[in-house]
Amino acid sequence: MAYRIKAGESVETALRRVSVEQLDKALAALDEPGTDVHQAVHEVRRRSKKVRAALRLVRPAFPDFVRENRCLRDMARALSAPRDAGMLLECLDALVERYGECLERGAFDDLYARLRARRMREVVDSGLEDRLVATRRELIALRRRVTRWKLDARGVKAIRGGFRKTYARAGRAMREAVAQPAQGQMHEWRKRVKYHHQHLRLLRGAWKPVLEALRRESSELADLLGDDHDLGVLRQTLLADPALGSAVVRATVFALIDHRQAELRARASWIGHRLLIEEAETRAGWFGALWELFRRGAPAIPTPRPRKGSA
């Protein structure tokens, strides 16, 4: 089923349902015969982040938030090293695809080989196979607890505080990142936008034409900030390990990173100011009223159709 709260469904029921669905998909990725281990890691991390986003939506009304959020966070962190090693290769691929015409053929062959070797070492050193076995046990235990999750509030009261707080944090993180676009500030902005994006997905049924448009904007913004973050990690990795490529290769990669990050940040700033410009209390207020109508089964607000013959 879709990652959203359905009409007529209580927030508590929806929280349990979407969380179980995501955890089941994570377990399926681990249990699927022949699944690539790196793809399994990606799926587990992706699904756990979606459950964390759902928890943040109901955070003020969920007494067990701290424990369950920490469980999911630690689970994803334990799998981060192999994922990051693979991400470096993907990031270099993206740069070559975008700027390959400006590069000599095979310019980065040696760097690719060293990054692949680094990836293999991360898999071995992290004890990934054992870690995935432990992760499976943790997912099963968490899934059992999900069926007993309780909220202290209902209806709009269960979601308004979490929605408002996440939106406010995303706006604040944007202002800080635009003022000082360092790696830490950009990463924080990305995290807050990702949570807001997932909240829009969960709640889009309340007014699909509008909220779906906002969701698409937030998705693009999250992708831009994600690409920016990955480029920053690639830069930090090369700076920390001089053995990764010659001085010429490293200087070339740094120049490409600088150019691409400038493009990404300009676009992100434009979208971010459109998406996050409203005061959090105002956004939460009009959304809360909209959600109450949706919860009570009010007719869906139709998408306006252009008049015949209009330009």
Same domain, yes or no, for 138 and 190?
no
| Residue where one domain finishes, among candidates 150, 184, 199 | 150
Stretch 154-158: mean pLDDT: 92
CA 236 to chain centroid: 21
Same domain, yes or no, for 137 and 215?
no
Which of 26-35, 39-48, 56-65, 116-125 is predicted most confidently? Answer: 56-65
Average pLDDT score over the chain: 90
Stretch 38-64: mean pLDDT: 95
CB-based contact 170:189 (threshold 8 Å): yes
CATH number for position 285: 1.20.120
Look at 176-180, 258-262, 280-284 and tell me which has the smallest mean pLDDT: 280-284
> Is residue 98 situated within a structural domain?
no
Whether 303 shows a pLDDT value over 70: the answer reads: no
User: For the chain, how many structural domains are there in total?
Assistant: 2
Same domain, yes or no, for 16 and 142?
yes
Q: How confident is the model at residue 297 (pLDDT cuts 50, 70, 90)?
A: low
pLDDT, tens only, 195-208: 999 999 999 988 88
Same domain, yes or no, for 238 and 187?
yes
> Is residue 190 situated within a structural domain?
yes
Whether 283 shows a pLDDT value over 90: the answer reads: no
> Is residue 179 situated within a structural domain?
yes
Same domain, yes or no, for 57 and 185?
no
Whether 50 shows a pLDDT value over 70: the answer reads: yes
What confidence score (pLDDT) does residue 198 get?
97
Stretch 119-144: mean pLDDT: 87
Report how far residue 14's alpha carbon sits from residue 12's, in angstroms, rounded to the nearest whole number: 5
> Is residue 268 situated within a structural domain?
yes
Whether 252 shows a pLDDT value over 90: the answer reads: yes
| Residue carrying the six token digits 């929806």 | 14
Whether 188 shows a pLDDT value over 70: the answer reads: yes
Same domain, yes or no, for 181 and 233?
yes
What confidence score (pLDDT) does residue 311 get?
44
Whether 47 shows a pLDDT value over 60: the answer reads: yes
Quick check: helix, strand or coil at residue 137?
Answer: helix
pLDDT over 90, % of the chain: 65
Stretch 163-179: mean pLDDT: 95
> Is residue 91 situated within a structural domain?
no
pLDDT over 70, % of the chain: 95
Stretch 51-70: mean pLDDT: 97
Same domain, yes or no, for 144 and 159?
no
Same domain, yes or no, for 139 and 173?
no
Q: At what angle do helices 80-99 and 109-125 cross, to 10 degrees?
A: 170
Same domain, yes or no, for 202 and 274?
yes
Same domain, yes or no, for 144 and 194?
no
Report how far residue 156's alpha carbon sits from residue 158's, in angstroms, rounded to the nearest whole number: 5
Domain that holds residue 245: 155-296
What confidence score (pLDDT) does residue 146 get?
98
What confidence score (pLDDT) does residue 1 get?
60
Same domain, yes or no, for 64 and 131?
yes
Q: How confident is the model at residue 122 (pLDDT cuts 50, 70, 90)?
A: confident
Span between the terminal Cα atoms of the chain, in Å = 38
Nearest alpha carbon to residue 112 among 84, 80, 86, 83 = 86
Stretch 105-121: mean pLDDT: 87
Where helices occur in the chain by DSSP H, the ranges are 11-31, 37-57, 65-77, 80-99, 109-125, 128-146, 156-179, 183-203, 208-240, 247-275, 280-295
| Residue where one domain finishes, among candidates 97, 115, 150 | 150
Same domain, yes or no, for 46 and 174?
no
